[in-house]
Amino acid sequence: MSTNAINPREVLAWYAEAGVDTALHDAPIDRFAETRELLAKSEVKREQPARNTRPQASPDKPQASAPVQPAQRTIPDEAVVGRAADLAKQATNLAELREIISSFDGCNLKFTARSTVFADGNHEAPLMLIGEAPGRDEDAQGLPFVGPSGQLLDRMLASIGLDRTSVYISNILPWRPPGNRTPTPLETEICRPFIERHIELAAPKIIVPVGGSSAKTLLKTTSGIMSLRGRWTSIEVGGRSISVLPTLHPAYLLRTPGHKKRAWQDLLSIKNKLADQTG
């Protein structure tokens, strides 16, 4: 056996490390066959005699110019943000909002995601946690925070006497970015009207942005999570002022367990605030 033979398992492992973990087609595409076909067509075209198929212009009649075709857009423009806002306003309850988001086709992330991840937990809970976007496990199951970071989040909530029946969980974006890449600013802005309407309809008393990206989006700031976490502030949504406390993302805590002390301080602060507002 040749020592240069490719091991399929090693190739798959390499793709997984690179973040390529979702097949976009049911069968593999033979790019070498496509190349051979293109080369064969180009050879045939070169062998054919050139023909002048351009119509001759009449000397006493000007030749009409062909209309310019607009370039095809592959990325939504800012007009889509307005359309998302108009659609979000039409939702009068969470079920309608879920349907509107599921049928929305203005964000390119939807076409590479398996699921529209809307929310989990108790929508009447006073505490709403909001992450950035679904990951691989969330995309597969259609629920937020169900992977390793979600399991840590469950343990964090349990440490202050909470679980998914006593909190409400969602994300800024309902669709997973391919390979868990960072969402573009335009993708985030397209989805912003949906999460703002989501907050308005759920009407929580406290919001906890989970991670820096979520905190920056909801608070409309460029400050980092280390300067935002542990500090209570508020946002206006639907004419209501809602208390907000950003905290560290569980995925970050899994990579940097030394910062769990800071997350524990945030949890205790959340517990006290809940007691004050619901007691």
Question: For the segment 88-112, what is each residue's pLDDT rounded down to a tens digit?
Answer: 999 999 999 999 999 999 999 999 9
Q: How does residue 253 score in pLDDT terms, banded at 50, 70 and 90? A: very high
Q: Residue 95 carries which side chain, given as an amino acid letter?
A: A
Distance CA(76)–CA(80), nearest Å, equals 6
For the residues 133-158, what does the mean pLDDT come to? 97
| CATH entry, 79-278, from 3.40.470.10, 1.10.1740.10, 3.40.50.720, 3.10.129.10 | 3.40.470.10
For the residues 222-246, what does the mean pLDDT come to? 96
22: how many CB neighbours lie within 10 A of its CB? 14
Cβ pair 175, 109 in contact under 8 A: yes
Q: What ranges do the domains of the chain cover? A: 79-278
Q: Reply yes or no on whether the pLDDT at 14 is more than 50.
A: yes
Q: How does residue 78 score in pLDDT terms, banded at 50, 70 and 90? A: confident
What average pLDDT does the chain have?
85
- Rounded to whole angstroms, what are the CA distances from 273 to 42, 127, 131? 71, 10, 20
For the residues 27-36, what does the mean pLDDT come to? 62
pLDDT at 68: 40
13: how many CB neighbours lie within 10 A of its CB? 11
Q: What is the pLDDT of residues 191-218, one digit of tens each?
A: 999 999 999 999 999 999 999 999 999 9
pLDDT at 222: 95
Residues above pLDDT 70, as percent of the chain: 72
Q: Reply yes or no on whether the pLDDT at 86 is more than 70.
A: yes
The predicted model scores a pTM of: 0.74
pLDDT at 55: 44
| CA proximity to 171, closest of 139, 201, 130 | 130
DSSP string, the chain: --TT---HHHHHHHHHHTT----SSSS---HHHHHHHHHHHHHHHHHSPP---SPPPPTTSPPPPPPPPPPPPSS--THHHHHHHHHHHH-SSHHHHHHHHHH----GGGGT-S-----EE-TT-SEEEEES---HHHHHHTSSS-SHHHHHHHHHHHTTT--TTS-EEEES-SSPPGGGPPPPHHHHHHHHHHHHHHHHHH--SEEEEBSHHHHHHHHT----HHHHTT--EEEEETTEEEEE--B--HHHHHH-GGGHHHHHHHHHHHHHHHHHHH-
Q: Reply yes or no on whether the pLDDT at 161 is more than 50.
A: yes
pLDDT at 54: 46
